[in-house]
Chain A
Amino acid sequence: GNSVTQMEGPVTLSEEAFLTINCTYTATGYPSLFWYVQYPGEGLQLLLKATKADDKGSNKGFEATYRKETTSFHLEKGSVQVSDSAVYFCALSGSSNYKLTFGKGTLLTVNP
């Protein structure tokens, strides 16, 4: 079946530091890949997505590239802010249905 493995947290950074959260996946067919973010006390929001190999998703300064050869979708941001403190989830949906498979989540804390 499908699975997602993402970097275990927590991750603590200073403001303006570079962020990478690793995500690798196992799936059959051609999955779509997502990063969701959950701010404290809130539900999940879509951060970015990529639907085919070599696609780059981007939003709010975050980027991730769908790498089929390494089955990876790592999340990066060049300069994090305190407001980026949240839990980040990598997820995939199969090529034939809407079901999402999630990673375990990575808690990011950014200090001023």
Chain B
Amino acid sequence: DVKVTQSSRYLVKRTGEKVFLECVQDMDHENMFWYRQDPGLGLRLIYFSYDVKMKEKGDIPEGYSVSREKKERFSLILESASTNQTSMYLCASPPQGRVNQPQHFGDGTRLSIL
């Protein structure tokens, strides 16, 4: 079974800090995604990556960057954290093959910026 692991379940940081959220998948998938989840807004795509060192902006990339140095790891970076980035962050990865395969999600990181 596919395992998508996010390094922290809960994280508290201060305004202006540089924050790293880590995601690891164990099935050699090429595609990985970062979403944020907010009440009443559903999930919104921040960035995704379709291969090592390849990345594309999603719908709400402002204030974020990503890093994919190894295939199994996809990092989301908040360059200078702000309170409006307090949210639940979810990493996901679909298996290889046809594009109609469902994505597998990690358990999420609940990030609070004070």
Q: Do A and B come from one complex?
A: yes
CA distance A94 to B108 in the complex (A): 24
**Is there contact, CB below 8 Å, between B102 and A105?**
no
Give 1 or 0 for each of A36-49: 1 = CB within 8 Å of chain B CB: 10000011111001
Given A32-B100, A46-B102, A93-B99, verify A98-B41 contact (CB < 8 Å).
no
Q: Are B43 and A98 in contact (CB under 8 A)?
A: no
Interface residues contributed by chain A, number (CB under 8 Å): 24
Interface size on B, as a range, is 20 to 34
Check if A102 sits within 8 Å of B99, measured CB to CB: no
| Bound-state Cα–Cα, A94 to B99, Å | 8
Q: Are A51 and B100 in contact (CB under 8 A)?
A: yes
Q: Is the CB of A98 within 8 A of B42?
A: no
- A34-B102, A93-B100, A96-B99 are known contacts. Are A102 and B43 too (CB-CB below 8 A)? yes
Contact B42 A32 (CB under 8 A): no
Nearest CB on B from A23, distance (A):
12
Partner of B107 from the list A36, A42, A91, A103 (CB cut-off 8 Å) is A42
From known contacts A93-B99, A93-B100, A103-B42, infer whether A98 and B31 are also in contact, taking CB-CB under 8 Å. yes
A-B contact count (CB 8 A): 57
Contact A49 B102, beta carbon cutoff 8 Å: yes
Q: How far is the CB of A54 from chain B (nearest CB, A)?
A: 15
A94 to B100, CA, bound (A): 8
Query: Are B40 and A98 in contact, with the CB atoms below 8 A?
Result: no
CB interface residues, A 97-112, toward B, < 8 Å: 97-100, 102-105
Asked if residues A99 and B41 are in contact (CB atoms below 8 Å), the reply is no
- The yes or no answer to A89 lying at the interface (CB within 8 A) is yes
Q: Assess whether B74 is interfacial by the CB under 8 Å rule.
A: no
Of B35, B44, B103, B107, which contacts A98 at CB under 8 A?
B103
A-B contact pairs, 23 of them (CB 8 A): A32-B100, A34-B102, A36-B105, A42-B107, A42-B108, A43-B106, A46-B102, A46-B104, A49-B100, A51-B100, A89-B43, A91-B43, A93-B99, A93-B100, A94-B99, A96-B99, A97-B99, A98-B33, A99-B48, A100-B33, A100-B45, A102-B44, A104-B42
